Structure 1
Amino acid sequence: MAIFKTILIDDERLARAELRKLLTDFEDIEIIGEAANAVEGVEMVEDLHPDLIFLDIQMPGKTGFDLLTELTYAPKVIFTTAYDEYALKAFEVNALDYLLKPIDPNRLQESIAKLRKTAIAKVEGDVGKLLTEENQVFVKDGDKCWFVKLSDIRLFESAGNYTKVFFANNKPLILKSLNALEERLNEKFFFRASRKHIINLNWIEHVEPFFNGGLLIDLKGGEKIEVSRRQAVKFKEMMSL
């Protein structure tokens, strides 16, 4: 039986206590931490890498949506809130489920059933906690939000302290530098083509020689990415060209 490491994030202590009590009925749910606000939540999630978080939306300071934008990766998320007006937005970001407080035990059981169905085997002990292609990242651009699998992201483009994320027809900006992202990406799948770009190797359509010993890579999304001379040498070694 798979065990789902779980963190509860809610500013109401009694709400966390009640949820913790309800979750004792599920042998495959292991609560590894609790956080009372978004700041604590981000630190705990990044440190412990849970499989699942129960996340309140309305909290003092930063909201649950704000918390998700600060995570390097996104675990499975079940929103818990007293405000049903957020339901539509929660499902737009592809949350696993959305529970209204006070939480109904039957609805909680349905949520855990969904979790079990969508569970993907988690690779433990990755050096430096590198992200796999199956990991999701949370991307927010204005009122639009997405959970995006890394395998669906074809390109990261530096924009100062921000990074533009290319997936499907979307190109939102996230508040993370390209260097910070590179540290978490597995080089088996992602390649630093230049100071400005990281490309998904599985999205390469065509490679050709380019100016001054570099390369020009065509991605399946239509982007043309220049690879610097130094990185072209590394790329050829990786791809055995």
Structure 2
Amino acid sequence: MKVLVVDDEAPARRRLVRMLERIAGVQVVGEADDGLAALRLIGELRPDVVLLDVHMPELDGIELAETTAELPAIVFVTAHPDYAVRAFAVAAQDYLLKPVQQQRLEQALARVEARAASARQATPVRISARAGDSVRLFDPRSITRFHAADKYTVFRVGDEEHVLDDSLNTLEDRLGGLEFLRVHRSELVNLLEVRTLHQRDGTAVLELSDGQRAHVSRRTLAEVKRRLGLRDGDP
């Protein structure tokens, strides 16, 4: 779960980050100190959940949540209990009062994950690719890798290559409930299909079940190892 922390007070952000680092499966992808900066980072980092203060300069938390329906899950974190009604009116998934307790934070994130999982189960994900006048449908679990090529996204099933209009960012969101991980800015990989992790001369490459290979960026290597069950000291 990717989390963006938004609070205009640096000590409050640092405390939340330390608490989040204790929770397995949670990755803090960024921090913002006002609502406008948060909106920009939401577009760039595409977090799964935003921990959002209410009182902030430029754009407060409630106003941010009202800007668009196309936002990740919102959990308000504030010292002001009197904004709870307005927070839930803008579809907040939880409302935490400062000082936040570790158990309460974990409960909030578990609630976000449970709702996301329920939504994914309600609508099975299918990948559609055009072939002339036809549209072919694929179960994403049968696909080992999506990669960016020019302005398109490409995947292979068997000996056939297919082209999508969807960006890797869009696919990453849609496949969030499956075992897909963005291992490089141009690579989205099905971790269940990884057979070997090759590391040599500062580069890392995943070998997949169908023989394809995907480069792993240095930034994501630690998360790749964690998701594959490898220890930090493993080659």
TM-score with structure 1 setting the length: 0.49
TM-score with structure 2 setting the length: 0.50
Determine which structure has greater relative contact order: mean sequence separation of CA pairs < 8 Å that are 6+ residues apart, divided by chain length.
1
